[in-house]
Every structure is written in C-alpha cells, then in structure tokens.
Structure 1
C-alpha cells in the first residue's frame, strides 16, 4: 500500500514544472550542479535533456524531490519516501542507465531497493567526498602553463581524456558507439572554453581538467588527470590551482568536485589547493 501511494505521488515533469524544478535544484547548488546545468540549459524536454525528470510531490502537491533518469539515475533532495517512490518507478521501467550516482544517502537507498532486480553492479563506490571552495588557492601557486585547450588541439587532448575515463571508470568511453558521443562531449567542452590543459612543446598533455558542469551558483571540475610519467611532481596541485582561478574569475562563485575516498593522494592534493569536504556522493556502476 505504501509503495502504491508513493508511486501515485510521482510523475514525469513537464515544461510547466520548470520553475519549481529549478527551485528544488537551487536548494543545494553544489550537490546538484551536474543536473542543474542541463536543466538550466535546455529545460525539461526529455529529448533535449537526455532523459526524463521525475518529480515527487508531498501531500499538499508541492514538488519536493527530483530524480533524473537518463544515462545516469540521479536522486535530488530525496528523502526515504521519495527514494521509495523513485525506486519503484525505476524498477517497473527497467534499467536503462549506466550508473546510479548522487548524494550518498539517497543513492544508497535507491540501490538497496533496486539491487535485487538490477544487480549485480560492476562496482559500488559507497563514499565519494564532495569538496568545494569559493576562494583561490592560498598555499599553491597556479601553474602558468595551464591554459584553455584550443579547438585545433582536440586530437592531442582526446587520448588523454580516454585514458582518464578508462582509468577512472574501468571501461573505455570508445566502446558501444565507437566513442562518437564521448568525442562530441570533449569537443563541446573545448569549444565552450571549459577544457584546460598543460601541453608540452612536443604536444604531450601533461595535465588536464574540465569544468564539466556550470550553473549560476556553482560549477564542478571533472576529468582531472596527470600523465603517468609526470605523477608525483605535484602537477595536479598547481594545475588545479590554475583551473580554480579560471573558474572563480569567469564561471561561478563556488567550485566543486567529487573524488573517490580511496584516492588518498588526490584528496590530499585538493585539500592543499583549498577544497574542503561539504558532503558525500555514491556511485553504482553497471
């Protein structure tokens, strides 16, 4: 009975729900940057958004929680009742996503309800610290050689992006469609001035990072990578300090990222740059 009531209080959101959806997303601009950047850019049309946005309404008909259902399943501002409702809808629909990712408590709740029908997962990353800062690096000098990647350098950048993705996720982004969507995403970030790198005179990408999500209130740095031959030289610190400067000066007042808890060197590097933990994400990879 509870599941039926919960399911009845959810529906796919439409254009008329946009203002209320943005209000929910803006309650936590740091945690919700990934989804908010898409909604702010294209609205709620599923074709343009790349998936449906589900809404959970309280007993008074107010929109309180969201769940983005696209390539990722992402719960937003979702308490236990909303999580139950979203899990029931997701179970009935069947798995169409490659991961469940979002704030740790809600994501853990979704996975607990979906594991029997959707499992097993390829990997579960139960605690990924969410870090943020609104200040430039004080203890690390920005690398002056880190700059925006030019459009004519996409072919130089792409192998580094593929290496980063494969190392981070465990599978190549070139699988499936031959990498067409991934290459388009890399090109989009370069063309919009959100891809940064240190590239040697020989054309080697030494360090790279992207500002992958941008909203009015916050942005999120993604894809941080140092070439294996150059690791241990603290280039991630100076590189991140440079990207942080760009982001605060030109993009958003708060800059965030999230990192695997087992990646102790990266967590230490981000702390030295000035990032502090403000929450935790969880990822379930299929």
Structure 2
C-alpha cells in the first residue's frame, strides 16, 4: 500500500492510501453509510470481497481520519469517490493519488459534491473533459410501482445476446455520443454478455422485419448493499411516445425488487424532463444529486 500526503484546502495535512484486500470490509462499511450514493463503487468492492482486488478490475483508495477509514474511492473504468461526511481532506487525498498516476478512467461519477469536488482539484493537471453533467437527480423507489406493469418485459436470455447488443450500442451512442463497440469480445460486448448471464438485463421484444427486435430495454448496472441501480434505459425510436418507458420501468422495478434488491435507484440528466416525469409517475422520488465528468 502506498501513502500520499499533501495539503488540504484548509492547510491541514491530507493523507490517502491505496487499499489492499485487508481493507475491503472497512471500505464496504464506509459505503453502507450511503448505500444509494455509493452503489457504483460498492458493486466493485463487493466483487473484491469475493475474489480480491486484482480480479475486481481497479484500485481502491482510502482516506483515514483518527486511524479510521472514513472515505473511499474506486478507480477503474470510472472513478467513483465515496465521502459520506463530505470531508474536503478526502478529496484532496484522492486528487493527489490521481494526479500522481495520471488519468486512466473515462469518467468521474458519483454524488455531485464529491465528483465535482474531485474534478475541481484535478482540472489544472488533467486534460479537459468532453462534457460535465453537473446536475443528475438521483432517484429511488422502495415500494411497488404506481403504474401498471408491462407484462412483456422480462429478463433476456444468453441466446438473445445478438438481439440485445445492438440496442445497447444504440443507447450508449445516443447517450454518450460515440459507439462503444470494439469487436466480438471487446470490453463493452463482454459487459453486455455478463449482464445477461447474471440476470440483470431486461427487455421487451417485438417482431421486426428481420426477426425479433428490442422495443424497450434496461439493465441493473450496479447492485450492492441492498440497492440495484438501473442503467441503459432505452426505447427503440419507432416505439417512442407510446408510454413504453413508463410501464417498462414499472416492470423492471417489480422484477428487480422481487429478485435482486429491495431498493431500486437510477440517476438521470436534469434536462431530460420527459424521463424525470415518467420515473416519478412510476413512483421514484429524488434523494440526492449525482454528477458525471466525461473524458
């Protein structure tokens, strides 16, 4: 484990360290203080708890105060800071580690104050981001949906991978601005295949001119600490305006709460007024704000 020392904004010493397998349980305890805010990081840390940090696919950084681990940061494909008490010293420490290592991640994402605070500290040394989404309402539902459920929405099967993948690529390109596809066994393709295998991919299929096609889809992109975070919600353009996202999300909520976790969460861009209204009709309520810095 390495230690990184520097000055905080208040002038006090900030100390961060790269955590090891022995720290994983303490890191999960930090995440448990804010289960909705931390689900992206906690889902990877739970993998580390089962298999070790190396197979989990990233580094885990920690910040100690008074000999106790009080904040953590997952650094993999995304950097996800978890700072339950908002201590600026934690962000100072994480920024120092990040500057020393250089940018390796495609985004900084998480609770808005932590994600944006970390970016503020890195903005002078890291390359400019493509986009900053500073206001993404964080929504949860922990009860039955308030609208009818689309009975045609179900878990996808491994045999439907070839149908599901094009819908996932289309959603990603529409949301982020570029295609994530990189070949039959690329990281995005493997991610989609893995979500299907784990029962975390939900679809509504309809007959198309070339066979079955996806009209609605969503995934549980992160599951940890009793929270299942929905990602990748998408309706095929020809089927938009028919209310499929509303009743489809109701189905995902019902199935996820029954089979995966009692609380379902998601975050959405503040300018997507139509999606926000739809999710609120389903029964989601806002509990915080996320932010994403995209590189």
Give the alignment's TM-score, normalised by structure 1: 0.94
Match of 2:32 in 1: 26
Alpha-carbon distance, 1:5 to partner = 6.2
CA-to-aligned-CA distance 1:57-88 (integer Å, 9 cap, x gap) = 00x21000001111111110252111111111
Aligned CA distance change for structure 1 residues 99 and 179 (closer, same or farther; 3 Å): farther
**Which of these residues, 206, 226, 234, is aligned with residue 225 of structure 1?**
234
SS, match of residue 125 in structure 2: helix
Once the 2 structures are TM-superposed, how far is the Cα of residue 230 of structure 1 from its aligned partner? 0.8
Aligned residue pairs, count: 282
Q: Deviations over 1:122-162 (max 9, x none)?
A: 00001111000101112x11101111111111101100000
Partner of 1:200: 206
Question: Which residue in the other structure is 1:39 paired with?
Answer: 45
CA distance in 2, matches of 1:24, 1:147: 34
Q: Which runs of 5+ in 2 are unaligned?
A: 1-5
In structure 2, the partner of 1:154 is 161
Name the structure 2 match of 1:110.
118
2:263 aligned residue = 254
Structure number with the higher strand fraction is 2
Task: Give the CA deviation at 1:184.
Answer: 0.7
Matches within 5 A, 1:141-220: 141-175=148-182, 180-202=186-208, 203-220=212-229
1:179 positional shift: 6.4
Q: Any conservation in 2 of the 1:213–1:221 contact (CA below 8 Å)?
A: yes
Question: CA 1:6–1:72 in 2, change beyond 3 Å: closer, same or farther?
Answer: farther
Matched, 1:55 2:62: yes
Q: Distance in 2 between matches of 1:93 and 1:159?
A: 35
Question: What is aligned with 2:133?
Answer: 125
8 Å Cα contact 2:32/2:225 also seen in 1: no
- Residue 52 of structure 1 contacts residue 69 of structure 1 at CA under 8 Å; is this kept in 2? yes
Alignment RMSD (CA, Å) = 1.6
Write the distance in 2 (CA, Å) between the matches of 1:204 and 1:33: 31
Cα distance between partner residues in 1 of 2:156 and 2:184 = 23
State whether residues 48 and 54 of structure 2, in contact with CA within 8 Å, keep that contact through their aligned partners in structure 1.
Answer: no
C-alpha distance in 1, partners of 2:282/2:139? 11
SS for the counterpart of 1:201 is: strand
1:222-268 deviations in Å (ceiling 9; x for gaps): 11000011111110000000000001111111110010111111111
More helix by share: 1
- Structure 1 unaligned residues grouped into runs of 5+: none
What does residue 100 of structure 1 align with? 108
Q: Comparing 44-53 with 198-207, which one deviates more in the overlay? A: 44-53
Partner of 2:243: 234
Deviation of 1:46 after TM superposition, in Å, equals 3.8
